[in-house]
Amino acid sequence: MRQVAVVVLAAGQGTRMKSDLHKVLHPIAGRPMLLHLLASAAELAPARTVVVAGARREQIEAVVDPMGIDVAVQEPQQGTGHAVQQSQGALAGFDGDVLILYGDVPLVRAETMRAMLDRLRADDAPAVVVLGFEPRDTLRYGRVVAQGGLIEKMVEHKDATEAERAVRLCNSGLMAVRAADLFALLARVGNANAASEYYLVDIVNIANADGRKCAVITCAEGEVAGINSRAELAGVEADWQAARRAEVMADGATLIAPETVWFAWDTRVGRDVLLEPNIFFGPGVTLADHATIRASSHLEGATVGEGAEVGPFARLRPGAVLGEKSKVGNFVEVKKTTIGAGAKANHLTYLGDAEVGAGANVGAGTITCNYDGFFKYKTEIGAGAFVGSNSALVAPVTIGPGAIVAAGSVITADVAPDALAVARGKQESKSGWAKGFRTMMAGRKKS
């Protein structure tokens, strides 16, 4: 089996995005589109991966350098063929198969990439394999004129005749080529076309002219959807979300209003999970079996245990871990906090940098005061403890197991297990004061 190299073209200006962020770094489901593509390509275990960048290449380098991926520079941008040529240095000495992908076509499946390579390695050994598709609207795509899976001609839309524009099979731009052929064919590509650019597709026509076969395989339109604008980004996001919702329901979760639930690329959902309307998942969320997420909740970087309940109107931030059958209720925010099995924080509470023991109850309006403007500190609430409403727990502080904090307390020192802590001003009552106050103020108002 020959080795595989992956070349990802990402040198376009992306002017239609109207953004300071490189086009291929705009997220789909909370993950940059380039990383969606590279993750699929990584399933092929490529020997080398090269991203060809141009404008704002430093943004791409910051993302892929830690992954050990090479960045080649295309400057100026003179077409797709010219872009692939810039990877030649990074692929020096490589003699396997080269898979050419596009950073703004992020949802190509690894299975499709494998199918391209399998066709390239077939007994009839085509020189080039092209990935084609039949879109609903063919107007802007290059055409693939083919018979029996073999390509007769490829032509860009702007250079096509009326007869060629009537062809439904279009070019996605993705190709598989043996390294030994790729750069030799590219060296013969000219720029005598409407845009004066060096087209990658011309290697097919050159190979055909040499009497060599070139093949096309096809995929669904959605898999090769390109993203050049914010509207197209939103369209691909919508398609991705619709597919993910269907998968989650097929795997045994209930979505009451599926179109209002938004998943991240790595959201993990167990069986018999209930998701109410208007829920947003950021990256890094895991929901165990039988969990319930009630309406209008926002979760990211959180783990929700089996049978636990969140919301409505709750926010779980990174580091939130909810134990089995625990509960976080309405208008509760949890950050970097572990809530033990069966523990509850039902109303209007902030729990940050804390540990809440099993069976503990945190009353409405409680705040862990975890930040002094410079550093973060931890609050520990023991198993079975009860924290009364409107309490402020000034970290670092420990509430012992079984302890009770009286409502309205400001706790600045540790509370022993099973103790009662009361930390509030002493109440005074002045008989008749309120009546006299009202009489005085009414007189002032008349005058």
DSSP assignment of 85-151 equals HTTTTTTTT--SEEEEEETT-TT--HHHHHHHHHHHTSTT--SEEEEEE--S--TTSPEEEEETTEE
Give the C-alpha separation, 381 to 317, whole Å.
19
Single-letter residue type at 319: G
Residue 284 tokens, joined: 């890094």
Rounded to the nearest 5°, which phi and psi values hold at 378?
A: -100, 145
Choose, from 22, 36, 157, 347, the residue flagged as catalytic. Answer: 347
How many other C-beta atoms lie within 10 A of the C-beta of residue 150? 13
Sheet containing 327-330: which strands, arranged edge to edge? Answer: 254-255, 274-275, 292-293, 309-310, 327-330, 344-347, 361-362, 386-387, 404-405, 420-421
How many other C-beta atoms lie within 10 A of the C-beta of residue 20? 7
Cα 63 to its chain centre, rounded Å, is: 14
DSSP assignment of 38-82 equals HHHHHTT--SEEEEEEBTBHHHHHHHHGGGT-EEEE--S---HHH
Give 265's DSSP letter: T
Q: Is 347 a catalytic residue?
A: yes
Give the C-alpha separation, 221 to 243, whole Å.
14
| Active site members | 347
